[in-house]
Amino acid sequence: MTTNAANARQGNPSGSWPRFGRRRASVLTRVLGGGSAADGAPLERWVWVGEGTAYRHAGGTWERTPTQDYTFLVRQDRYAARWLSLKVQNRTHPSYDGRAGAADQQHAFAIEIGAPGPDGRLALGLRSTYGDGGGHGDAEFRHAVLEFHAAGVSRFAPYDRFRITQHYRYEEGRLDETVELLKLARDGSERPFAKIEESARLFRP
């Protein structure tokens, strides 16, 4: 995370940041529901390393916004009916303006995997540091869609929800993911604001 060390030390001579630490720990604990210790050892632990390419919707078309690009690393613990993921992402463009928050961020995701429905799709529940929601995926979890309300976003913001579309290419050790930021109009129509095209490689112990 990005922290101004000089200012922190002025307010806390010991040089530590306990208030910051408690806030981050409480968010991750809420999302992970007690963390990996409550679930025992994961069936599998995967690590994804990749990059996100950013776009903004303007004038009916998608325009590249390279200042919003980022790299990321995800540690994904897979249990029988639950996946826990910790994501660290870093924006390194010299002209990044901070509009998407700190350049260095940490996020958590917990996906609860339900039983297959009549159509064979899995019902998915989601808790995350971005917000909570749900979606569906195929029985082999190769393709999934998750949608959720954006937590803590002002009603005047140009988006109020996220949609994540995932394509796992297990044989190739690849993951392609589209993260959409959009707003739902009063008539039910969607107004796209931005999207990030993520591509990652799998590293599995």
Q: What is the pLDDT of residues 25-72, one digit of tens each?
A: 555 666 666 555 556 789 999 999 999 999 999 999 999 999 999 999
99 neighbors 91 (Cβ within 8 angstroms): no
Burial, 5: exposed, middle or buried (Cβ in 10 Å; 0-12, 13-18, 19+)?
Answer: exposed
pLDDT in tens, 137-181: 999 999 999 999 999 888 899 999 999 999 999 999 999 999 999
Residue whose token pair is 């806390």: 12
- pLDDT at residue number 1: 32
Residue whose token pair is 């981050």: 24
CA-based nearest residue to 61, from 198, 179, 195, 166? 195
CA distance readout (Å), 185 to 96, 135, 205: 29, 20, 45
- pLDDT at residue number 26: 57
CA distance readout (Å), 188 to 10, 134, 162: 50, 19, 15
pLDDT in tens, 72-86: 999 999 998 999 999
CA distance readout (Å), 15 to 3, 56, 137: 12, 40, 46
Separation of alpha carbons 192 and 9, rounded Å: 42
Separation of alpha carbons 31 and 148, rounded Å: 14
Q: Please give the CATH topology (third level) of the domain spanning 5-203.
A: Lipocalin (2.40.128)
The domain locations on the chain are 5-203
Separation of alpha carbons 55 and 194, rounded Å: 6
Residue whose token pair is 């290419």: 169
- pLDDT at residue number 16: 33
pLDDT in tens, 103-148: 999 999 999 999 999 999 999 999 999 999 999 999 999 999 999 9
- pLDDT at residue number 149: 94
- pLDDT at residue number 32: 67
- pLDDT at residue number 185: 87
Whole-model pTM? 0.82
| Number of neighbours of residue 88 by Cβ within 10 angstroms | 15
Burial, 51: exposed, middle or buried (Cβ in 10 Å; 0-12, 13-18, 19+)?
Answer: middle
